[in-house]
Amino acid sequence: MSKRFLWVMVLFWFMVSPLRAEKSPLIARVGPYTLTRADFEKEIENNANLKALLSLKPEMKSMLVERWVEITLLGLAGKEAGLEKDPEVKAEIEEQVRMILARHYFERRVLKDLKVSESEAQQYYLAHRKDYRLPERIQARHILIRIPEGAGPKDEAAALKKAKEIRKKLLAGADFSEMARKYSEDPGTKDRGGELGLFARGQMIPEFEEAVFKLKVGEISPPIKTRFGYHLVKVEARVPAQIQPYEKVKKQVIQDLMEAKKQKRLSALLKELKKKYPVEVHPENLP
Element (H, E) at 226: strand 224-226
Between 246-276 and 118-127, two packed helices, what is the crossing angle to 10 degrees?
Answer: 90
With beta carbons less than 8 A apart as the criterion, state whether 222 and 167 touch.
Answer: yes
The reported pLDDT for the residue numbered 10 is 52
At 242, which amino acid appears? Q
Q: Which long-range contacts (CB under 8 A, 24 or more apart) does 263-267 make?
A: 265/109, 265/110, 265/114, 266/106, 266/110
Does the pTM exceed 0.75?
A: no
Q: At residue 8, does pLDDT exceed 50?
A: no
The reported pLDDT for the residue numbered 58 is 86
Q: What are the respective helix, strand and coil percentages of the chain, to the nearest 5?
A: 60, 15, 25
Q: What does each C-alpha distance from 56 to 6, 49, 51, 61 come to in angstroms?
A: 14, 11, 9, 11
Residues 6+ apart with CB under 8 A from 260: 124
The reported pLDDT for the residue numbered 151 is 82
Q: What does each C-alpha distance from 118 to 123, 138, 241 come to in angstroms?
A: 9, 34, 27
Q: Measure CA 32 to chain center.
A: 40
Confidence of residue 1 (pLDDT cuts 50, 70, 90): very low
- Per-residue pLDDT reduced to its tens digit, 199-241: 999 999 999 999 999 999 999 999 999 999 999 999 999 999 9
The reported pLDDT for the residue numbered 280 is 94
Beta bridge partners of 133: 243
Percent of the chain at pLDDT above 90? Answer: 76
With beta carbons less than 8 A apart as the criterion, state whether 73 and 30 touch.
Answer: yes
Tell me the three state secondary structure of residue 197. strand
Q: What is the average per-residue pLDDT within 36-42?
A: 88
Confidence of residue 19 (pLDDT cuts 50, 70, 90): very low
The reported pLDDT for the residue numbered 39 is 86
Residue 179's CB is within 10 A of a number of other CB atoms, namely 20
**Greater pLDDT, 24 or 251:** 251
- Per-residue pLDDT reduced to its tens digit, 119-135: 999 999 999 999 999 99
Q: At residue 21, does pLDDT exceed 50?
A: no
Kindly report the three-state secondary structure assignment for every residue of 100-132.
HHHHHHHHHHHHCCCCCCHHHHHHHHHHCHHHH
Q: At residue 13, does pLDDT exceed 80?
A: no
Q: At residue 258, does pLDDT exceed 90?
A: yes
- Per-residue pLDDT reduced to its tens digit, 67-79: 889 999 999 999 9
- Per-residue pLDDT reduced to its tens digit, 169-197: 999 999 999 999 999 999 999 999 999 99
With beta carbons less than 8 A apart as the criterion, state whether 50 and 1 touch.
Answer: no
Q: What is the DSSP letter of 182?
A: H
Residues 6+ apart with CB under 8 A from 49: 9
Length of the chain: 287
